[in-house]
C-alpha cells in the first residue's frame, strides 16, 4: 500500500476530525485546511497567583518574556461515576511564540506508528514484528534486521517506542518517522484536529528536501524469518510551510567548528505548540474524554503499552538496554524531579510525560497521579535558557536555570493539589494497573 492510498484509507474509513472537508479534498490540497494560529491566551488568575507564592520561581517569572515561559496547568475533577472533567489554567500561553519542540514530536509519532500498524491489517504484523530499514536516498541510514535471543535488541516498532519514551532516543524516532512518511504523518495529525502542526524533520543533519524522502522498510516473521510486509520508499511531493512564517532566533549559531554571525533559521523546523502536545497526551491517557473523531485509532493493548512507557523510568521498565547507571530514574522527568540523578522516584507517584531539550529550549508535558495523596493533574511548561544567544554551541542554562525551575514548578502545583478540596475522590486504580505487553 502506498502512502497516498494509506491516507485516503483513513478518509474512506470515516476517520476525520475536520469533517468531510478534509476527505473531500485531494491529498495534494490538504494544506488548505490549515487555520490561523491561535492568539495569545489571557493568564489564569488562579495560576498567576499560585506562581507568585513561590519565591524560587521569581527570578524566571520576573523575566518571563526573556525566558519565553509558557505554562498550562490542568485540574482534573472526577464526578460520581469517576469520569474526569478538565479545567485548564494558563500562563503566557502563546502558539505564535515559536519554540523548538525537539523530542516532544515523539509523542504523536509513537501514537501514529502504532495506529498505522493497526490500520494496515497485515496478517502477523504487530509491534513485535522484526523491522528492517533500508536506504534509497541521500541522508538515509540503514537499520538491518539481526535476529537475537534478546527480544529487546531486535528492531521493532514496539522497541523503538520504548527507546523513544524511556530515554528519548533520536535514532528510534527517525525509524518511525520513516515508517509513517512525512506526508501521511502530518496529514493524519491535521485530520485529528491539529492543522497547524508540522513534523518535517528527522533528528539528523538532513536538508529540507532529503527529509521528504523516507526509506523502504520490511517486516518479518520472528519465528520463520519470512517477509510479512514490504513498504517501498516514498517521497512527499508537497512543501509544508511554517504557519508562523519566517522564524529566526539568536544572534549567531555554530555549525561544526564555525561560528556563523547570523540568527538561526527555524522556518523549516518542526512546529508543535504546547497546547497541541498537551491535548495529544490527554488523548492518549484519556481517549474517552475526546470527541470520537479526535481519538487515535488504537487498540486497548496499544493504549496500555503507551501509558506504561510514558510513566516508566529506564530502570523500572525492565528494558534491558537501560540498566546502566547513566539512565537514572529522573532521566526524563523534568517537572518535579528536575532530571537530578540523585533524585529517587516516589513509589506512589506516576508521571506520564514527554520532554524536549534542544537549542536552549526545555519543555515537559506531564500527567501526575499519586495513589497515596489520591490526586491527579496535568502540567505543561516550556522555557528558553540561552543567555549568550548563540545556538548550537552547547552553552545553555539547563542545569542552573531551566531544570530547577521546572522541578520547583512541579512541586508547587503538586503541593497545591494535595490540599485542594474535591467534591468526589478520584479512583485511580486503573491508572496504577499495568497490562502485560
Q: What is the grid cell recorded at 342?
A: 540523585
Nearest to 105 by CA among 358, 355, 360, 368: 355
Using CA atoms, how far apart are residues 333 and 351, in angstroms rounded to an integer?
8
User: What is the maximum span of the chain, computed from C-alpha positions, in angstroms?
Assistant: 62
Asked, for residue 434, whether it belongs to a domain, the answer is no
Q: Report the mean per-residue pLDDT for the chain.
A: 91
DSSP string, 351-386: EEEEEEEETTEEEEEEEEEETTTTEEEEEEEEEE--
pLDDT at 47 over 50: yes
Using CA atoms, how far apart are residues 437 and 273, in angstroms rounded to an integer?
31
Asked, for residue 430, whether it belongs to a domain, the answer is no
Which range has the worst mean pLDDT, 126-130, 312-316, 407-411, 415-419? 312-316
Asked, for residue 433, whether it belongs to a domain, the answer is no
Asked, for residue 302, whether it belongs to a domain, the answer is yes
3-state helix, strand, coil in the chain (%, to 5): 35, 20, 50
At 5 the pLDDT is 40
Using CA atoms, how far apart are residues 381 and 73, in angstroms rounded to an integer?
9
At 36 the pLDDT is 81
C-alpha dist (Å) from residue 240 to 196, 208, 212, 243, 386: 10, 10, 10, 9, 28
Q: What is the grid cell recorded at 157?
A: 516498532
DSSP string, 125-141: --TTS-EEE---STT--
Sheet arrangement for strand 217-220: 131-133, 217-220, 227-231
At 405 the pLDDT is 98
Asked, for residue 431, whether it belongs to a domain, the answer is no
pLDDT digits (tens, 9 = 90+) for 160-212: 999 999 999 999 999 999 999 999 999 999 999 999 999 999 999 999 999 99
At 433 the pLDDT is 86
pLDDT at 217 over 90: yes
209: CB partners within 8 A, 6+ apart: none
Asked, for residue 428, whether it belongs to a domain, the answer is no
Asked, for residue 195, whether it belongs to a domain, the answer is yes
318 burial class (0-12, 13-18, 19+ CB within 10 angstroms)?
exposed
Number of domains within the chain? 1
**Packed helices 106-120 and 182-191: angle between N→C axes, nearest 10 degrees:** 90
Note down the domain range covering 350: 3-419
Q: What does the pLDDT average to over 61-83?
A: 97
pLDDT digits (tens, 9 = 90+) for 97-117: 999 999 999 999 999 999 999
**Global confidence as pTM:** 0.91
Asked, for residue 432, whether it belongs to a domain, the answer is no
CATH of the domain at 72: 3.40.710.10
What are the φ/ψ torsions at residue 409 (nearest 5 degrees)? -60, -45
Give the model's confidence band at 4: pLDDT under 50 very low, under 70 low, under 90 confident, else very high: very low
Q: What does the pLDDT average to over 411-423?
A: 96
At 26 the pLDDT is 38
Nearest to 435 by CA among 264, 305, 293: 305
Amino acid at each position: 500500500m502506498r502512502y497516498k492510498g494509506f491516507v485516503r484509507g483513513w478518509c474512506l474509513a470515516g476517520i476525520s476530525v475536520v469533517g468531510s472537508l478534509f476527505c473531500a479534498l485531494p491529498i495534494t490540497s490538504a494544506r488548505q485546511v490549515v487555520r490561523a494560529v491561535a492568539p495569545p491566551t489571557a493568564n489564569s488568575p488562579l495560576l498567576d497567583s499560585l506562581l507568585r507564592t513561590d519565591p524560587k520561581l521569581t527570578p524566571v517569572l520576573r523575566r518571563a518574556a526573556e525566558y519565553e515561559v509558557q505554562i498550562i496547568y490542568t485540574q482534573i475533577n472526577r464526578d460520581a461515576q469517576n469520569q474526569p472533567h478538565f479545567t485548564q489554567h494558563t500562563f503566557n500561553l502563546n502558539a505564535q511564540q515559536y519554540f523548538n519542540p525537539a523530542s516532544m514530536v515523539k509523542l504523536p509519532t509513537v501514537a501514529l506508528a502504532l495506529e498505522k500498524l493497526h490500520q494496515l491489517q497485515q496478517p502477523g504484523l504487530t509491534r513485535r514484528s522484526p523491522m528492517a530499514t533500508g536506504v534509497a536516498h541521500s541522508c538515509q541510514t540503514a537499520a538491518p534486521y539481526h535476529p537475537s535471543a534478546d527480544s529487546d535488541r531486535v528492531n521493532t516498532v514496539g522497541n523503538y517506542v520504548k527507546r523513544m519514551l524511556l530515554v528519548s532516543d533520536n535514532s528510534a524516532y527517525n525509524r518511525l518517522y520513516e515508517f509513517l512518511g512525512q506526508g501521511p504523518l502530518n496529514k493524519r495529525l491535521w485530520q485529528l484536529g491539529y492543522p497547524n502542526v508540522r513534523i518535517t524533520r528527522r533528528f539528523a543533519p538532513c536538508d529540507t528536501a532529503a527529509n521528504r524522502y523516507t526509506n523502504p522498510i520490511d517486516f518479518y516473521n520472528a519465528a520463520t524469518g519470512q517477509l510479512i510486509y514490504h513498504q517501498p520508499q516514498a517521497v512527499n511531493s508537497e512543501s509544508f510551510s511554517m504557519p508562523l512564517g519566517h522564524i529566526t532566533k539568536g544572534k549567531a549559531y555554530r555549525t561544526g567548528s564555525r561560528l556563523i554571525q547570523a540568527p538561526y533559521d527555524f522556518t523549516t523546523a518542526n512546529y508543535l505548540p504546547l497546547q497541541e502536545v498537551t491535548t495529544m497526551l490527554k488523548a492518549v491517557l484519556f481517549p474517552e474524554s475526546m470527541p470520537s473523531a479526535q481519538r487515535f485509532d488504537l487498540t486497548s493493548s496499544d493504549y496500555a503499552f503507551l501509558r506504561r512507557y510514558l510513566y516508566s523510568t529506564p530502570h523500572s521498565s525492565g528494558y534491558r538496554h537501560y540498566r546502566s547507571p547513566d539512565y537514572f530514574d529522573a532521566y526524563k522527568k523534568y517537572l518535579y524531579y528536575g532530571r537530578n540523578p540523585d533524585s529517587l522516584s516516589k513509589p506512589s507517584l506516576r508521571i506520564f510525560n514527554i520532554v524536549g531539550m534542544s537549542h536552549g529550549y526545555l519543555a515537559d508535558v506531564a500527567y501526575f497521579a499519586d495513589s497515596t495523596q489520591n490526586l491527579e493533574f496535568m502540567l505543561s511548561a516550556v522555557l528558553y535558557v540561552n543567555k549568550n544567544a548563540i545556538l548550537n554551541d552547547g552553552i545553555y542554562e539547563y542545569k542552573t536555570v531551566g531544570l530547577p525551575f521546572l522541578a520547583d514548578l512541579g512541586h508547587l502545583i503538586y503541593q497545591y493539589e494535595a490540599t485542594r478540596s474535591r467534591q468526589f475522590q478520584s479512583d485511580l486504580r486503573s491508572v496504577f494497573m499495568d497490562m502485560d505487553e
